[in-house]
Amino acid sequence: MVPNVMEIENGPNNDSNKVNRICLYFSTFTVNLLLVSICIAFVWTSPTLVYLLSPESHIPITKFEGSWIASFITLGGVFGAPVTGVLLDSIGRKWTLHLCTLLLISCWIWTVFAVSVVELYLVRFITGLTAGISYSASPLYVAEISEDSLRGALNTIPLFSRSLGYLITYSLGSYLNYQNLAIISVILPTISFFLFFFVPESPYYLIDKNCNQEAKKVLNNLRRGTNGEIIDKEISIIQNSISISKQQKLSYKDLFSTVGNIRAFYICTAYLAFQQFSGVTTILLYAESIFLMVDTPIPSSLSATLVGGTMMVSACIGPILAKKMGFIKPMIISSIGLAIFLAFLGLYFILRDFEYDVSSIHWLPITSLLLYCISYSLGMGSIPWAIMGEIFAPNIKSVAAGIMTSFNFLAAFITAITFPILTNVLGWGTTFWLYSALCVLVVPFTIYFLPDTHGKSLDEIQVIMNKPRKGVDASNG
């Protein structure tokens, strides 16, 4: 691909042919600005539900209605991934993402003027639909405009961007009222909307639509300083890739056509389910409400901000660990950490419910949740998605990605909508212990079912995935 060709042709240290990637970095920045905006909206309920459930609310709601307001964004995400495929092929990658900024702006404006619970339901659903589209389209767009040597690094930036979005909402939510928070939140998607006018379309999409000259202009802009021969070779590679993809165009039923794909399907669905049932979505959506239940001198809004900050800082840990250690060890360490700190969080609420004096351990909930965030970032946060990119056969990955994204949002919806029910029926402590127990199950599942793909090529991984299974995966020893 391009970087290798460039090193062969120009030499890695030839300054006269140094590539100017300002357009590439600008495009990646614009996409990630959209993702920050999406995640500002995602955790909007954390500070806002506290207000909506109060007597001062201009839209009086019940706790049941509050749980639906929080959950509708994940339900919308379920339908976002299937819609993405149609949009990507019809209007292109750039305009699909551009449309998302417009949808997000519209949702924030509607939020400002909403006067009923039903309106909030609709706003959250459309925001979730936008999130589903953005999460599916953004990595594809970045991958298609990037060079091989930069693709992996650029596609890890969204981990940081999403966490930054959480932190912004948690930080501003304690200082701004309902309307002002919504007004401030519309700023970033508005900036992103205007920046997208200067972002190029994906060269893959242009070549697929037989706009080869336009694609060449885009590549020249993305790789300024690269000579024409190199650009022509990249266009040839893209044409060949598109041709192969069309010949191998598959349907959903092909996802279960081989042993390897079936195995990949149950491994990925299990990990995405474990990811959500570790309680991450409920903690993000209800962070401030959780801290309001804690007897601590630290304000609930500050505690939520600390969670967002920890999530942001630790977001880069997972990819680094995975690169050095593979997937198995970080996932086991992450799961054990999640189980332990959820158990400690549950213990605090159990002791409080049994009327023990918890004033001496008021630090336990915030400490547990901060360490929970770090543990989540070690593996559970990023590895399930990285696994999906490796263990599915190359010709089925796009189909699998859409299904997995929808499933992840569905699992998030289930955890978000059941959290208030579980806390009412079982109590807060037992609910967190339930999440802790589910995290414990990840350890044996990882040991027995997750193949060791560290340092192996995609072809070698497919050989492992399609081997007849005899007890423990041969790849694990």
The CA R_g of the chain, rounded to the nearest whole Å, is 23
The whole-number average pLDDT for the span 426-441 is: 96
Residue 311: the pLDDT is 86
Q: 232-247, pLDDT tens digit by residue? A: 888 888 888 777 766 6
**289: CB partners within 8 A, 6+ apart:** 46, 49, 50, 300
Q: Could you tell me which residue, 27 or 208, shows the higher pLDDT?
A: 27
Q: Express each pLDDT in 303-326 by its tens digit.
A: 888 888 888 888 878 777 877 888
Measured CA to CA, the distance from residue 463 to residue 40 in angstroms comes to 42
Per CATH, the architecture of 19-199 is what? Up-down Bundle (1.20)
Q: What is the mean pLDDT of residues 123-128?
A: 96
The model's confidence at residue 14, banded by pLDDT at 50, 70 and 90, is: very low
Q: Return the structure tokens found at 361.
A: 């351990």
Share of the chain residues as helix, strand and coil, in percent rounded to the nearest 5? 80, 0, 20
Q: Would you say residue 475 has pLDDT above 90?
A: no
- Going by pLDDT thresholds of 50, 70 and 90, the confidence category of residue 7 is very low
CB atoms under 10 Å from CB of 336, counted, come to 16
Percentage above 70 pLDDT, the chain: 91
- pLDDT tens, residue by residue, 39-84: 999 999 989 998 999 999 999 999 889 999 999 999 999 998 888 8
Residue 296 has pLDDT above 80, yes or no: no
Contacts of 415 (CB under 8 A, 6+ apart): 276, 277, 279, 281, 282
pLDDT, residue 156, reads 72
CATH of 252-467, one of 3.30.300.30, 3.40.710.10, 1.10.3720.10, 1.20.1250.20: 1.20.1250.20
**What is the signed CA dihedral for 271, 322, 370, 345, rounded to 10 degrees?**
40
Helix 364-375 × helix 300-313 angle, to 10°: 20
Lowest mean pLDDT among 14-18, 159-163, 395-399: 14-18
Report yes or no: 60 and 114 within 8 Å, Cβ to Cβ: no
Q: What is the mean pLDDT of the chain?
A: 85
335 with 443: CB under 8 angstroms? yes
Q: Of residues 234 and 448, which shows the higher confidence score?
A: 448
CA distance 230 to 220: 10
Main-chain dihedrals φ then ψ at residue 468, nearest 5 degrees: -60, 130
Exposure pattern of 180-217 as b/e (b: 16+ CB <10 Å)? Answer: ebbebbbebbbebbebbeebbbbbbbbbbeeeeebbbe
152 pLDDT tier (thresholds 50, 70, 90): low
pLDDT above 60 for 213: yes
pLDDT score at 351: 93
Q: Domain segments of the chain: what residues?
A: 19-199, 252-467
Query: Do 19-199 and 252-467 come out as alike in CATH topology?
Result: yes
- The arithmetic mean of pLDDT across residues 137-166, rounded, is 81
Size of the chain in residues: 477
The vertex-141 CA angle with 231 and 167, nearest 5°, equals 135
For residue 416, give the 3-state DSSP assignment: helix
Q: Interior CA angle at 301 toward 296 and 306, to 5°?
A: 85
Give the number of other CB atoms < 10 A from CB of residue 128. 27
Q: How far apart are CA 441 and CA 54, in angstroms?
A: 38
Q: Which range (4-13, 241-250, 358-367, 447-456) has the least confidence?
A: 4-13
Max CA distance (Å), the chain? 75
CA distances from 403 to 85, 255, 258, 265 (A): 11, 10, 17, 10
| Helices 178-185 and 22-42, packing angle to 10 deg | 160
Residue 216 confidence (pLDDT): 87
Select the more confidently predicted residue: 139 or 112: 112
Backbone angle region of 305, left / alpha / beta, with phi > 0 → left and psi within -120 to 50 → alpha: alpha
Encode pLDDT of 238-282 as tens digits.
Answer: 888 777 766 666 667 777 778 888 898 999 999 999 999 999 999
pLDDT for 231 equals 82
What digits encode the pLDDT tens for the residues 336-355? Answer: 999 999 999 999 999 998 88
- For the ranges 147-161, 310-324, 406-420, the lowest mean pLDDT is seen at 147-161
| DSSP calls for 281-349 | HHHHHSHHHHHHTS--SS-HHHHHHHHHHHHHHGGGHHHHHHHHH-SHHHHHHHHHHHHHHHHHHHHHH
Query: Could you tell me which of 404, 410, 400 has the C-alpha nearest to residue 77?
Result: 410
pLDDT at 370 over 60: yes
Q: With CA atoms as reference, report the closest residue to 67 among 286, 231, 276, 325.
A: 286
